[in-house]
Amino acid sequence: MTDHGPHRRVPYRREREKRTDYYYRRSLLRSGRPRFIARHSLKNVRAQVATPSSEGDEILASAYSGELSKWNWRGYKSNTPAAYLVGLLCGYRAKETGVNECILDIDRYVASPQAKIFAILKGGVEAGLDIPHKKRILPSEERCKGEHISNYAQKLKSEEEEKYKSQFSSYIRRDLPPEDLPDHFKKVKEAIQTEYGE
C-alpha cells in the first residue's frame, strides 16, 4: 500500500472555466517576447501588448474599438475594418514604448485564415511591429477596407430596400451609408497615421 495521495491533477480555476489555456500561455511566455494580444466580441475589438511579471501581466500598450470615435469612426465597432484600425492603433502605441517585435496571442480562438482576429494582427504589422505569421492568414486589403460590406449593401439596396434599411439601420442612423464604408475607412486610417507621424 502506498502512502501518497491520488495522482489526479486538479485544473486551475481559469482552466476549469475554459478561460485560459495554460499550455498555450506557457509556450508564449517561453518565447521571451512581448505578446500582441488580440481579442474580439460581438460588440468590441481589443488589442494589447503585454509582458509577464511576477505581479501579473504588464500592459505596455492597448487600444479598443470604442476609442475609434476620436477619429470620427462611424462604422460598426466589431467588424473587420474596425479590427484592423484597432490593431494599427495598438501597434503605433507599442512602437512609442520601444516595442518592435511581439508574438501573437489569440488564446482559445480557433480562427480560420482571413478571420477578423487576423485583421487585428495585420493592423499591428502594418504599424511596424515584427510579429511572426504566415501571410496567407491575413485578410485581403479589400476586406480590411470593408469592400465586402459595401458590395453586399449595394446589392441589397437594389434588390430589397426594406431589408437594406433594417440590416444597416445603425449605419444609416450614424449618417454613414454602408456603400461608403471603404472611403470612410481610408479617411480614419489616414487620420490615425497622421497623428502618429506616418
pLDDT tens digits, one per residue of 142-189? 999 999 999 999 999 999 999 999 999 999 999 999 999 999 999 999
CATH class of the domain comprising 16-145:
alpha beta
Stretch 83-97: mean pLDDT, rounded? 97
Report the share of the chain in percent with pLDDT over 70: 89
**Cα(61)–Cα(52) distance, integer angstroms:** 13
The β-bridge relationship of strands 35-40 and 103-105 is parallel
Per-residue pLDDT, 160: 93
Q: What angle do CA 174, 180, 186 make, to 5 degrees?
A: 100
Mean of the per-residue pLDDT values for the chain? Answer: 89
Side chain identity at 22, as an amino acid letter? Y
* pTM for the full predicted model: 0.87
What's the start-to-end Cα distance of the chain, in Å?
Answer: 71
Q: How confident is the model at residue 15 (pLDDT cuts 50, 70, 90)?
A: low
Digit-coded pLDDT (tens) for 93-141: 999 999 999 999 987 777 889 999 999 999 999 999 999 999 999 999 9
Compare 27 and 149 and report the one with higher pLDDT.
149
Ordered by start, the domain boundaries in the chain are 16-145
